[in-house]
Amino acid sequence: MSNSTIQSQGRAELALKYFPYIQPQSAWLKLKSLLLEDPSLQHLATLRRRTFLPAEVNIIYQHLGQP
């Protein structure tokens, strides 16, 4: 998928795509733990903003696969 088709996403919104059957906060915590396990994604887990930029979503998709 190219960067032009990937949009910014809220962290809970993205987490719910990976874990659709749990509450948004729990989904974010699970996604955050996956991000922290990968040294190249750790910085994304500690961002202060609640939205991932398209380039960041693309990086997550490349490492974790598309949900």
Is the per-residue pLDDT at 3 higher than 90? Answer: no
pLDDT of residue 5: 85
Residue pLDDT, tens place only, 14-27: 999 999 999 999 99
| 24-28: long-range contacts, CB 8 A cutoff, minimum separation 24 | none
DSSP for 15-57?
A: HHHHSTTS-HHHHHHHHHHHHHHSTTTHHHHT-SSSEE-HHHH
Query: Mean pLDDT for the chain?
Result: 93
pTM of the predicted model as reported, rounded to 2 decimal places: 0.88
For the packed helices 24-37 and 11-18, what is the interaxial angle rounded to 10 degrees?
80
